[in-house]
């Protein structure tokens, strides 16, 4: 026998339409009829959605939600729509807007919304507009000229949607949810928490009353309707044993405070001394036990099937689909000692506790694999360490042997170098004596017999004397070239500024005779041999003066810049310059410039410069423009880099 009594002053409840937008006037009826006709026309003439490069349909879709963004139900429906479109292969461009109904009077902001959406989407070619729940459906039906050319799909719009419009009607089956609570909890006292401040709330309470009347539970049924939240929490905290609470969404409590239903039931469940059941899966995790719940994602997926059919011009096949599912929170089942055997066979249990293996299976497996891997690695490292010690021992022996051989080779090279220098001195001495004698004989013959010789004989003797002079110069150059590979070991800092001062002193007379100007920047010290560096810079500057243009006074600039552990010195002139072919050959022994062949020289100076620079661990190169001058770049170790 059903025993029902009200804990608050109850007003007669009746099923009320979701939205009343008129007083039943003839004008309102005509407006609805006109909206239906225009909506049908809009769907009929809507443009075919665009297709991507791969042939996939890429529609532009607007989801028009009734409430404000924080409502979990809207998020669940939207997720179902997006997932369903993705699975259907529709690469949709989805726009989302919110009417914020319930917090502001619809009439007050309806015109503002119309102007806003007209401005925002006037240049957006929408293919479909979806209204989610009653307020959005009403707004869409009353504005048939908004979003022109777009098809329309109404989700739970009730009587607001045109009769022939595409629609997905859904509602939480309160009777199914109530019946499942009776089977699972078998309560002796039932408390229904609800909010009737709006038409939807009144309809839901009416559904609960009808369910109680049909099911006739063997329990007391009491309604906690339109009470302040504080009073509800106080009442549910002291319920009698074997009680159960059935929650219908509370948006506004008796004190006028507004709530998101999830937050409202969270407060109630936290205070209650009895399990809480409901009919919406978006409340899972708030503290409710669960029950036969309406799934927002399921509604969204069904809507996605309608969308796909609309976009392909076909009718959706939706047979066998249901929006209600049995879903339970394992934590609440344990809290209220409800055995899982009382649940329906196909019930989904969420937040189930897992064993350590179930929770951390992959971590455990990865850890075991890592331990095995590390063990193998340790064995391998042990073996490698022993081999490394053996190899290190062999390398030490080999290093010692190499050091011995290098020492022997160094001594041999030193002895060979000394012998070569001695040989060069001897050759120079032995060659200079006969060459000097030959030069004297030729000069004596020209002086004593010039009157008796013909012009051709005098010319031949003159050329012979010049050849002997060139041979003497080449012998002297070879001696200097050999000295460039010998001399003292390079191991001390050298002041390049002092070196250039000595070079200027050595070439002072040549500089004066040719009107040469030498500009020298502040130069840093380098690591090297002072004598050889003096020969290097003197050769370069002397060459710059020698190979000058006849109509231009020689100008030589010596500068320096830092490049990592080196200093790069540049010797720049405004002389004859050289071609690219000559630049490639200029450092080869006995090579002379074609453009300067009239100048005296043996072609040894630049080869000697290259040897000196290489011995200092550096490099030398030249860049030149014929007729404009040349720039020699020399890199030498900086003092700090030694």
How many angstroms separate the CA atoms of 163 and 34, rounded? 12
CATH 3.40.50.2300 is held by the domain 26-168: yes
How many angstroms separate the CA atoms of 116 and 64, rounded? 13
Contact between 311 and 127 (Cβ < 8 Å): yes
Q: What kind and span of H or E run contains 50?
A: none
Q: Residue 252 is encoded by which pair of tokens? A: 């506004």
Contact between 303 and 321 (Cβ < 8 Å): no
Q: Residue 162 is encoded by which pair of tokens? A: 């045109």
How many angstroms separate the CA atoms of 605 and 592, rounded? 10
Q: Which of these, 500, 541, 536, lies nearest to 619 by C-alpha position? A: 536
Using the predicted structure, report yes or no on whether residue 265 has a pLDDT greater than 90: yes
The beta strand positions in 122-230, using DSSP E, are 128-132, 151-155, 166-168, 189-194, 220-225
Identify the pLDDT of residue 426.
57
Q: What is the pLDDT of residues 334-375, one digit of tens each?
A: 999 999 999 999 899 998 877 777 677 888 888 899 899 888
Looking at per-residue confidence, does 199 or 243 come out higher?
Answer: 243
SS (HEC) of 283-338? HCCCCCCEEEEECHHHHHHHHHHHHHHHHHCCCCCCCCCCCEEEEEEHHHHHHCCC
Contact between 349 and 328 (Cβ < 8 Å): yes
Q: Residue 370 is encoded by which pair of tokens? A: 């890592």
Cα–Cα separations (whole angstroms), residue 582 to 232, 551, 554, 608, 629: 103, 23, 21, 17, 13
How many angstroms separate the CA atoms of 619 and 638, rounded? 13
Looking at per-residue confidence, does 289 or 565 come out higher?
Answer: 289
Q: Which of 309-323, 353-367, 447-461, 518-532 has the highest mean pLDDT?
A: 518-532
Alpha helices in 8-71 (DSSP H): 26-45
Q: What is the pLDDT of residues 159-204, one digit of tens each?
A: 778 887 888 888 888 999 999 999 999 999 999 999 998 888 898 9
How many angstroms separate the CA atoms of 161 and 157, rounded? 6
- Local confidence band at 131 (pLDDT 50, 70, 90 cut-offs): very high
Q: Residue 301 is encoded by which pair of tokens? A: 């997926």
How many angstroms separate the CA atoms of 484 and 534, rounded? 11
Its pTM stands at: 0.49
Q: Is 467 strand, coil or helix? A: helix
Angle, helices 530-546 vs 605-615, to 10°: value is 150
Torsion sign, CA atoms 343, 347, 350, 354: positive
Fold of 172-353: Rossmann fold (3.40.50)
Using the predicted structure, report yes or no on whether residue 327 has a pLDDT greater than 80: yes
How many angstroms separate the CA atoms of 144 and 41, rounded? 9
Report the percent of the chain where pLDDT is more than 70. Answer: 79
Domain spans of the chain? 26-168, 172-353, 373-480, 488-637
Architecture of the structural domain at 488-637: 2-Layer Sandwich (3.30)
Q: What kind and span of H or E run contains 60?
A: strand 60-65
Q: Do domains 26-168 and 172-353 have the same CATH topology?
A: yes
């Amino acid at each position: 026998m059903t025993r029902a009594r009200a804990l608050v002053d109850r007003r007669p409840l009746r099923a009320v339409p979701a939205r009343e937008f008129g007083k039943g006037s003839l004008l309102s009826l005509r407006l609805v009829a006109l909206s239906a006709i225009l909506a049908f026309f809009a769907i009929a003439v809507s443009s075919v959605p665009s297709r991507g490069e791969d042939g996939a349909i890429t529609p532009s879709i607007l989801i028009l939600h009734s409430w404000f963004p924080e409502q979990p139900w809207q998020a669940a429906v939207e997720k179902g729509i997006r997932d369903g479109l993705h699975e259907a292969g529709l690469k949709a461009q989805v726009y989302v807007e919110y009417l914020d109904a319930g917090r502001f009077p619809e009439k007050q902001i309806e015109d503002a919304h119309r102007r806003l959406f007209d401005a925002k989407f006037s240049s957006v070619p929408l293919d479909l507009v979806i209204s989610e729940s009653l307020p959005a459906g009403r707004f869409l039906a009353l504005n048939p000229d908004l979003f022109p050319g777009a098809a329309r799909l109404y989700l739970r719009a009730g009587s607001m949607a045109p009769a022939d419009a595409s629609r997905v009607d859904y509602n939480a089956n309160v009777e199914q949810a109530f019946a499942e609570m009776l089977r699972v909890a078998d309560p002796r006292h039932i408390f229904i928490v609800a909010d009737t401040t709006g038409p939807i709330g009144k309809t839901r309470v009416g559904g609960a009353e009808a369910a109680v009347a049909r099911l006739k539970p063997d329990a007391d049924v009491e309604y906690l309707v339109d009470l302040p939240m504080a009073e509800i929490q106080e009442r549910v905290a002291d319920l009698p044993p074997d009680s159960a609470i059935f929650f219908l969404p509370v948006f506004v409590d008796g004190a006028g405070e507004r709530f998101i239903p999830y937050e409202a039931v969270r407060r109630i469940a936290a205070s209650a001394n009895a399990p809480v059941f409901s009919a919406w899966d978006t409340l899972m995790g708030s503290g409710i036990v669960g029950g036969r719940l309406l799934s927002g994602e399921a509604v969204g997926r069904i809507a996605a099937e309608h969308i796909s059919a609309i976009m392909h011009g076909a009718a959706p096949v939706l047979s066998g689909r249901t929006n209600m599912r049995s879903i339970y929170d394992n934590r609440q089942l344990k809290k209220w000692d409800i055995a899982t055997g009382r649940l329906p066979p196909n019930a989904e249990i969420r937040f189930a506790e897992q064993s350590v293996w179930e929770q951390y299976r992959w971590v455990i497996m990865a850890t075991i694999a890592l331990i095995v891997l590390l063990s193998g690695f340790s064995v391998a490292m042990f073996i490698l360490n022993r081999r490394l010690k053996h190899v290190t021992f062999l390398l030490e022996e080999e290093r010692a042997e190499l050091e011995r051989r290098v020492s022997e080779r160094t001594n041999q090279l030193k002895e060979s170098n000394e012998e070569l220098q001695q040989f060069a001195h001897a050759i120079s001495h032995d060659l200079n004596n006969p060459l000097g004698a030959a030069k004297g004989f030729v000069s004596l013959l020209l002086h004593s017999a010039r009157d008796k010789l013909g012009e051709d004989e005098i010319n031949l003797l003159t050329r012979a004397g010049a050849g002997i002079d060139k041979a003497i110069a080449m012998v002297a150059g070879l001696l200097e070239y050999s000295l460039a590979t010998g001399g003292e070991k390079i191991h001390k800092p050298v002041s390049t500024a002092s070196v250039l001062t000595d070079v200027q002193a050595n070439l002072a007379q040549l500089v004066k005779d040719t009107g040469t100007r030498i500009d020298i920047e502040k130069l840093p010290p380098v690591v090297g041999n002072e004598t050889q560096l003096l020969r290097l810079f003197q050769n370069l500057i002397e060459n710059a003066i020698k190979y000058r243009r006849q109509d231009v006074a020689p100008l030589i600039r010596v500068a320096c810049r830092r490049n990592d552990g080196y200093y790069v010195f540049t010797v720049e002139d405004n002389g004859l310059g050289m071609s690219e072919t000559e630049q490639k050959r200029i450092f080869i022994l006995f090579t002379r410039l074609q453009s300067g062949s009239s100048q005296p020289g043996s072609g040894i100076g630049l080869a000697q410069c290259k040897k000196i620079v290489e011995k200092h661990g550096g490099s030398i190169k030249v860049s030149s423009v014929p007729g404009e001058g040349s720039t020699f770049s020399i890199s030498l170790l900086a003092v700090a880099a030694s």
